[in-house]
Amino acid sequence: MSGTLALVKPYVFLLTFDALLWLLIWLSVVSLGVTNSVGVTWLWCYRLVCWAILHHLALLINIEKGQQMVLVRWVAALCLLLPTYETVKTLIPFTLQNNCPVPDVGMVALCAAAASMACLLWEWVFHDKAKGDSGKQIKQQEARALLMRVVRYSYPDYLYLGAAFFFLTLTALGETYIPIYIGKVIDILSGTYDHDSFLSAIGLLGLFSLGSSLFGGLRGGMFMCSLCRMNKRIRHMLFQNLIRQEITFFEENKPGSLSSRLILDTDKMGRSVAMNVNVLLRSLVKTTGMLWLMLGLSWELTLLACVEMPLAVLLQNSYNMLSQDLSQQLQDCQAETQELAGEVIGAVRTVRSLHAEQQELRRYQEALDKMFNIKKRKGIYSAVHLLLRRTVTVGIKVLMLLVGRALIASQQLSMGSLLSFVLYQKDMATNMKHLVYIYGDMLNTVTSSVKVFQLLDRKPRMKEEGSLAPKQLEGKLAFHKVTFSYHSRQDVQALRNVTLEIAAERMTALVGLSGGGKSSCVSLLQRLYEPQGGEVLLDGEPLHHYEHRYLRSKMAVVSQNPVLFSGSVRYNIGYGLKGCSEEQVKEAAKRANAHDFICLLQDGYDTDVGECGDQLSAGQKQCIAIARALVRRPQILILDEATSSMDVNTQEAVQAVLNGAEGQTVLVIAHRLQTVERADHIIVMDNGEVVEQGTHQQLMEMEGQYYRLREKLFPED
């Protein structure tokens, strides 16, 4: 309380000083016997002198620097608003000129109130507070910075937005003039009837109504257009950055929440600019226009109408503070619920086979309950806020009608003008509410952009792509003292000081018990992860020195559970290849032993494989995945249990083709002895380490782990 008093004191002091200056000039005018208006030039001179005096006084007051600057800005507005208003008034034709020697007390008070409110609004809405502010203010500053960033993203649509703002101004101006003409019509009808005046008033009323509707439609269309364009741009940028991220990122962020960011949050982000700025500007133009016309009708009623604003600001401010946190909680909760539903639906077979429907239903119910509670609290805040707002509005309206009645009785106001005023006041309250509410809403919705921006700004945690792309590649792979653990399980080392060589143009087999580290080696070869220690080399050069695209063209990997995309068989085999011919697709399919079963499918190579290839068996999917790898003619082929779901005959056939691939480096991980026996070199891994290596013969003769564990290593034989 004492803090607020200390804050208000300098303002009261300067306001009293200003009132004294006005009293001085009034006494001078009276004593000199001036009866005509002093004129705008004189008023400017006088107020500039006042400004100089009050400005220096403001600088002399011993307050904190930031607050002093606010005071200085307020003094400028206080001194210069009235001469500015009088100047603009003289420039507009048909406006009643003030013939009093000095502006009347009401006008001075109104300008002081307007300057204070303008400053209050400016400091509250736009001005950055000094450093060292409380957490909430810092949060608001961040929200403002975010808002500016969202605005910057709409720059490319400046033509659409410019046109939209142009139509918006015309619409708002048209709407502003309507009540004035309604009042005129009422005055004509209630006084002595003049047909020409009536027709002209009705004609102009129709013109303004029609014009504002037409421009309103054009404005809406332009805003929608720019909103759609911005959404498209942001989603594209976001998706582009998402697919560049390292695999760990996708392990940490579930697909449900990512797709929510991509769809819901980007949408909200666009809305926070296009829709809210639309309403904000419309309200701003309308409020300014209406204030202008209302002042022309009666300053007493205008002053009364303006009282509503600080009260509305106060109420809205408190409501925004309470609802901003809840909105954030609600968003997180919605993303969680969506993720949960997506996970269960995606894994519905597993859920059903484990009879976990009830358990999942309970989990979903809990998530819905949590969301409901947040929404309930939000609803209660909103209802209380609405009630208080309505009470204030009705109170002000009653007061205004009482004052209006007094003004009509003293013939200072006509009935039509009072009606116009009441219409303005209603509209004014809505517009002011928008002015206050929209900014809060913008800050609210802009918080959904935080996560979008975090994703947009996220740099993949991988080494920079190299530039090596030699024409001739031998295809020799090597691990040199490689240590690696997954981000999600940093306590467990998946690979420990692994050193091994995969000879060029030879077939090497990686064998070992489950969890030995074989698939981790393959992941590092694909550069899905980066090792924490040591290096993975290709022809003696670290993998990250090579161009990304080059590596992908030289190395193909087929995994145990290959992912197919919904689309035709042909599309899946030639996936990601530009200009892949029909012959190349068929030849690869034949080599992968897939051609025969593809021909038996309903539409042959044009058959849709369904979502994730669901309409094919696991073995058929593997055959297509092998064809997809072979069509690229890779120098290095990695098969991670790639034939495990095929029947024995198919496995044999495919393996024979793979073995016969001339000049190719082949690395296989297999659980079948026949496959491993064919390899030129076998590396045995256990618990993240290389324990033995050699040919099948050598390993058998060694009688080490390979020999002892062969039954566990090759359970399929």
Ligand X SMILES: Nc1ncnc2c1ncn2[C@@H]1O[C@H](COP(=O)(O)OP(=O)(O)OP(=O)(O)O)[C@@H](O)[C@H]1O
The residues of the shown chain that bind ligand X, judged by CB under 6 A, are 486, 488-489, 492, 494, 512, 514-520
Two tokens, residue 516: 């030995």
User: At closest approach, how far in Å is the CB of 607 from ligand X?
Assistant: 31
Nearer to ligand X, 589 or 690 (CB): 690
Nearer to ligand X, 238 or 713 (CB): 713
Type of residue at 201: A
Nearer to ligand X, 297 or 642 (CB): 642
Residue 648: HSE in the Cβ half-sphere, 13 Å Cα cutoff = 5
Nearer to ligand X, 492 or 618 (CB): 492
CA distance 541 to 436: 62
User: At closest approach, how far in Å is the CB of 494 from ligand X?
Assistant: 4
Is residue 160 within 8 A of residue 211, CB to CB? The reply is: no
Nearer to ligand X, 140 or 645 (CB): 645
Our measurement of the distance from residue 79's CA atom to the centroid of its chain's CA atoms, rounded to an integer in Å, reads 42
Contacts of 574 (CB under 8 A, 6+ apart): 580, 584, 585, 628, 631
Helix (H, G, I), strand (E, B) or coil at 643: coil
Our measurement of the distance from residue 303's CA atom to the centroid of its chain's CA atoms, rounded to an integer in Å, reads 40
Task: Say if residue 530 is exposed, middle or buried (CB neighbours under 10 Å; 0-12, 13-18, 19+).
Answer: middle
Helix (H, G, I), strand (E, B) or coil at 530: coil
Is residue 225 within 8 A of residue 275, CB to CB? The reply is: no
Nearer to ligand X, 394 or 492 (CB): 492
Nearer to ligand X, 434 or 527 (CB): 527
Q: Tell me the DSSP string of 215-258.
A: HHHHHHHHHHHHHHHHHHHHHHHHHHHHTTS-HHHHHHS-HHHH
Nearer to ligand X, 390 or 487 (CB): 487
User: At closest approach, how far in Å is the CB of 708 from ligand X?
Assistant: 18
Spell out the SS3 assignment of 159-201: HHHHHHHHHHHHHHHHHHHHHHHHHHHHHHHHCCCCHHHHHHH
User: At closest approach, how far in Å is the CB of 688 from ligand X?
Assistant: 6
**Sign of the dihedral defined by the CA atoms of residues 343, 349, 354, 359, in that order:** positive
**Nearest residue by C-beta to ligand X?**
519
User: At closest approach, how far in Å is the CB of 495 from ligand X?
Assistant: 8
User: At closest approach, how far in Å is the CB of 519 from ligand X?
Assistant: 3
User: At closest approach, how far in Å is the CB of 365 from ligand X?
Assistant: 30
**Sign of the dihedral defined by the CA atoms of residues 390, 391, 393, 397, in that order:** positive
User: At closest approach, how far in Å is the CB of 359 from ligand X?
Assistant: 24
CA distance 83 to 105: 14
Type of residue at 456: L
* Cα angle, residue 274 at apex, residues 269 and 276 outer, rounded to 5°: 90
In the beta sheet, which residues pair with residue 666?
507, 637
Nearer to ligand X, 516 or 574 (CB): 516
Is residue 669 within 8 A of residue 639, CB to CB? The reply is: yes
User: At closest approach, how far in Å is the CB of 514 from ligand X?
Assistant: 3
Nearer to ligand X, 296 or 515 (CB): 515
Nearer to ligand X, 165 or 479 (CB): 479
User: At closest approach, how far in Å is the CB of 679 from ligand X?
Assistant: 16
Query: Where do the DSSP E strands lie in 258-394?
Result: none
Provide the 10 A C-beta neighbour count for residue 603.
10
Nearer to ligand X, 283 or 520 (CB): 520
Two tokens, residue 434: 């928008």
User: At closest approach, how far in Å is the CB of 559 from ligand X?
Assistant: 10
User: At closest approach, how far in Å is the CB of 617 from ligand X?
Assistant: 21
CA distance 271 to 276: 7
Q: Tell me the DSSP string of 537-568.
A: EETTEEGGGB-HHHHHHHEEEE-SS----SSB
CA distance 684 to 362: 46
